[in-house]
Structure 1
Amino acid sequence: MKKILTTIAASGLVALALAPEAHAQTADRKTAIGLNVSAMQYKGNFGSDYWDFSENKYAPGITFSRYLSKGLDVQLSGNYVEFKKDAPNGAPYFGSRFATNVVNVNLGLKFKLFNDDSPIRPYLLAAPGLTYTSREGTIFRNNQTINTDEDKNHFDLFGAAGIDFRLGDAVTLFVQTGQHVPLNANIDGDPARDDNKFDDRFLQHTVGLNIALGKAKDTDGDGVPDRKDKCPDTPSGVAVDENGCPLDGDKDGVPDYQDQCPTEAGTAAMQGCPDRDNDGVADKDDDCPDEAGLPALRGCPDADGDGVADKNDKCPDTPAGTQVDGNGCPLVTDADGDGIPNDQDRCPNTPAGTKVDANGCPEVDAEVRKLEQPIRFETNSTVIKRSSYGTLDKMVQALKDHPEYSIRVVGHADSRGTDEYNQGLSERRAGSVKRYFTGKQLDPARIVTEGKGESEPAAPNTSAAGMAQNRRVDFRFEFFIPNAPQP
């Protein structure tokens, strides 16, 4: 028996090596095939071998099973054994013997305890079936030898209890003990019978291997079957945990594949990055991470609102609306005589007689101005639609034809989400367009971006159509002034 168990365990290891992606029989993999060997112990008129393992008769067997529910399988099994025995010494059996081939086929229900993933699962089996006996034997009685050869079929009652041991994802080792009661069977051939129908019966002690067939359904292909997958729509190639959900190393609720700061706990609004001063600018992009500031100034404050961060402002108390220089100090002259004071003139050296715009710069050609058409985006998206490429390419060509021009790219968002999030989203949309332009070999210095968040809607945010108009980027051609401070 020990040798048999060793052989079966070794077979299990081979099966695991050949089927590394398989799973034990579950709702995912419903069909299993099993091979086993049994120790059979006869009981009848020639005596009882029950629990006497020195009298074992060994029998090969096979099973086919089908998963019905987490607590129930249907199982078809078959085995063959030959019982051979000489009668015990003494009357009335002295000199009698028999050799009976027994074939059993049983179909029944397997009642399982514990859940599918348990490494140890006790069960009960109720499996009626058919027993075929083919007997050769003699009975010596009253100085006569009676030939007892006979072939016959019998209805078999079979019940058993057992335990499944999971050896791995593919193979289950099981041990089981049960009793066969083939009704009216006469295994030993003794014509002396009791009134009941189960004079002769036998125990079956079984050890074997069940191997699950098929493949578990895994819709997103992450290696975790759908039955266990708590995130069944994970994008292809994303690393997942045992529950099928994307890894989140810093435990901030933003999965690593979407987390711009995967080693630092942050917020979803900041794409997984921290924002210590809660100003809507992630610390990694914040030049003043411990002071709440403005996204346009990389997170730095601007107390007088002149567009120059306090840390660079040499005139920090400039009155509101005053045009300032790069140091934050007022410009008060009109050097080029175009009627725009230097503190408001972005082109303070425009040649005399040049027609200028409100910023004091040469006006943009009217035909070029007609190209200033907004482009729109999907909800919460910074991806440029292909349908917008034609509009953008016309602007690219205008900039190439007019090297004296720059273009201002202004991103907007609809009202869904927080003010801080929408501000960042509008800036990212403007940045996406800038990358498109610079990808067309335009000087990045000629592409000025800013974000307005949800502060300048093109239509009321009270309908889907209105919000669709507000998810946009607007454009404004301007006179290009290299190294000029931006308003």
Structure 2
Amino acid sequence: MSIVRTALPLVLLTSVLTGCAGLQKTDWPTCAAVGGVVGAGLGATESSAWAGYGALLVGGTAAAYCWVHGDGDEDGDGVPDSRDKCPHTPKGVQVDANGCPPPVAPAPVVEEAVVVKEETIVIRDVHFQFDKATLTPSDKEVLDKVATRLKQESSTARLTVTGHTDSVGSDAYNKKLSDKRAHSVVEYLIHDGVPRSSFVSVTGAGESQPVADNKTADGRALNRRTEIKIDR
């Protein structure tokens, strides 16, 4: 019986201290309270007069042990130092279970729209009546689509229209014909709703600016064209 009475206090005290070591330093009041109850019980096994001394002794020992060996929380983020993978987190910063601030979402990348300052629309499907500047019904269908496209431009866009021919005929004649055809295209586009004020230049270049070989039918077809340059 004497062995049990000697060993029991040691077992209980060891259990209390071991449990306190697993707590945080700030839990010392809990350790003190539990140790006090255990100490009082141990003291009472001797006599009622020892209950208070036992409570004071064991409670104080448990509280001190908890403070020395308990798990701390140096940065005060609520995560014990033993599990805190991000020590020294600034006060008030929200942390996860590992004591680390949640990853900051990258700022959205705002891509600015690239505005093409210059663009040229090349019209090759407008053939006019033979040797004239008169538009055919199929020509008007093509230009209706071009007008729809141009009406989408801002009011500050400036349009330069140049007519071109192949090399059949004299240079002077072709220049005059290309000028008439360029004006015919512009007048139709204006009739279709493109502001007249958008057109800053309408000229004919004749055969002077070929883009293909005039010796072949395919090349001459490529050279017969109207170009609309858009300056934004």
TM-score normalised according to structure 2 size: 0.43
The higher relative CO (CA closer than 8 Å, separation ≥ 6) is in: 2
Whose helix fraction is larger, Structure 1's or Structure 2's? Answer: 2
TM-score normalised according to structure 1 size: 0.22
